Structure 1
Amino acid sequence: MTNLASSTSFDVRAEITQAYADWDSAFNKADAKAIATAYVSNAKVLPPTHQIISGPAEIEIFFGGLFSSGFADHKLTIIDAGGDEKVVYGTARWSANGKGADGSRQAAGGIATHVFERQADGSLKLRLHTFN
């Protein structure tokens, strides 16, 4: 994801904006493996199903399931961002298109919260991702 290792100060909003663009790009390529690499090894995804998805392997399976059911056209629009040199958060509106029972395009969306951990190289990886 975003790498600012050469920077001594952080523009958190710009980092989150880039992380969201990278995540959307992986989603819109239906690349569950690329999405999973955006998360730390003990990450949690908490979807509206109340399921607890733990770690990159389960995260890859979860998003693979969304892709196989027809979800595409994902977009994260930043609401707020903050943090420091270790932990960064972002909130966003999300939208995507799925398929209805009859195969027609069906819009979906809601609000998401993301907590990132800054890695040793300055990049951000997701620790917690929840959405409704």
Structure 2
Amino acid sequence: MGTSGLQHEIEAVDRAFETYFSQHDAEGMAGLYTQDGQLLPPGSEVVSGRADIAAFWQGAFDMGLANAELETVEVEDHGVTTIEVGRFTLGDADGQTVDHGTFIVIWKQVDGEWKLHRDIWNSNISNEE
């Protein structure tokens, strides 16, 4: 598969992530990760496994986050793993931007589906203040 086809597949999962996020469906979001997936959020410890990933995202919703926009900048194919570099914007229910920055996701193919395996992001907010 060419990079453009792969990028299309990754972006399709990103759209599902955005949809689950806007629906505040933390369990749906966690299902997009591998069983042993990890979040590496800024200023926090590593979050491992789907149950803890769901709890992390539920906490984000409870803090008032309402939507996420993901933009793929680059996809690098490594066979059964793929690296995505991108930008994100997080917003609240009033449509205000709460955070934005960059991310890297290491994707892993599981049973023919691309799943987020390692998810790390960095905020640009502190750099602007």
- Give the TM-score taking structure 1 as reference length: 0.83
Take 2:49 and 2:100, find their aligned partners in 1: how far apart are those partners?
A: 24
Of structures 1 and 2, the one scoring higher in RCO (CA 8 A, sep 6+) is: 1
Q: In structure 1, what is the equivalent of residue 114 of structure 2?
A: 124
- Give the TM-score taking structure 2 as reference length: 0.85
Take 2:91 and 2:39, find their aligned partners in 1: how far apart are those partners?
A: 20
Aligned residue pairs total 120
| Structure 1 vs Structure 2 CA RMSD | 1.8
The answer to whether residue 1 in structure 2 is matched with residue 30 in structure 1 is: no
Q: In structure 2, what is the equivalent of residue 53 of structure 1?
A: 47
- Residue 74 of structure 2 contacts residue 86 of structure 2 at CA under 8 Å; is this kept in 1? yes
Shift of 1:15: 1.2
Q: In structure 1, what is the equivalent of residue 82 of structure 2?
A: 88
Which secondary structure does the structure 1 equivalent of 2:21 belong to? helix
- Residue 81 of structure 2 contacts residue 107 of structure 2 at CA under 8 Å; is this kept in 1? yes
- Residue 76 of structure 1 contacts residue 92 of structure 1 at CA under 8 Å; is this kept in 2? yes
- Residue 116 of structure 1 contacts residue 125 of structure 1 at CA under 8 Å; is this kept in 2? yes
Could you list the runs of 4 or more consecutive aligned residues of structure 1 that deviate by over 3 angstroms after TM superposition?
A: 103-106
Structure holding more helix per residue: 2
Take 2:95 and 2:105, find their aligned partners in 1: how far apart are those partners?
A: 30
Where does the alignment leave 5 or more consecutive residues of structure 2 unmatched? 123-129
